[in-house]
Structure 1
Amino acid sequence: MTSVHTDVLPGAISTVRLKLVPACERFTHELREYTIENRAHLQPWEPLRAESFYETESVRQRLCLMAQNNKSGVAVHLLLIAPVTGEIVGDCNFTNIVRGPFQACHLGFSLAKRLEGQGLMREALSSAISYVFDSIGLHRIMANYRPENVRSEQLLKRLEFEKEGLARSYLRINGVWADHVLTSLINRIPER
């Protein structure tokens, strides 16, 4: 089983307006602020969260787990940082990395409500996807969204994800079992 090693993870991926940095404990304060600021905005698309989810220690523990997952190669958790202010404005996560004949993962992402509509997530994901395909060597990225999440649908379409079907009662989101549209993006670069 091939895995991602810490020397393969980037120090940071720079885009025109963002830095994508691997999640680690040093961003506890920033991630907590982002999570609290965007709580209502993200709630319709996420599992129900206990109040403890927003506490500093809980955020620190999640970041430690993300860093551990990055190091072990089962995920690539990246935080979107505004270079000028140093604040977290979003995240993207390539999780459930499976090697062997599958070479695939799931993509999840979020962006601060106040920054929607500026093309920031497309900018971030374009670079992150290139990294996952070129440096990590994955063949397939799967991304699923609720049918009513038009923003995610449009973004994934712009990134050339293809619809593959509808999964009924797929994930328990915001307290209810929700259908999800299944999409994927295939690495078109021939194997080395």
Structure 2
Amino acid sequence: MTEAGWPREALVVAAQSGDQEAIAALVSGSHPHVQRFARSLCASPEDAEDSAQEALIILYRKIGTLRASGALASWMFRIVRNECLRRARRAFRGDELVRPGAVVSAEDDVLRGLEAQRVAAAIAELPGDQRRVLIMRDIQGYPGRAVADALGLSTAAMKSRLHRARTTVRELLLRHDDH
């Protein structure tokens, strides 16, 4: 059974078998959901857009590897989450997000470094309990249950702190954009 609004299972099955029209329709129909996932998970609107696009490319290229046709939503959520995490880790470390062969201007290099500093500063402003959850879950990539166990929390309490932390970071970044 698919989640409301996601492409129907018959379309997923057709796409899995290589039907190019079905693949195109699947990517198109998944696009708004993938964007919503990315906006809720990524640190910045730019990362969300890039992560959504990357997830749709993966969907296009690897739909045949999806084992259960009814698991499209959870598969796409994992892809978006992993892409957002990858970008957050790189921003936190100050790594480049440039593809091999791309030319980087000095201005782009400086802007990327400043963005990473902004994200790190916003994370540093979080209360300690929220910062620990955010870093363990979103930057280090630990599973939710492992984070909850390590911090002596219930899964619900860990999720609540993580949501508050993400919301606070987003607000801090937006507030600093206004200045």
TM-score by length of 1: 0.26
Highest CA radius of gyration, 1 or 2? Answer: 2
TM-score by length of 2: 0.27
Which has the larger share of helix?
A: 2
Larger RCO: 1 or 2 (CA < 8 Å, sep 6+)? 1
Which has the larger share of strand?
A: 1
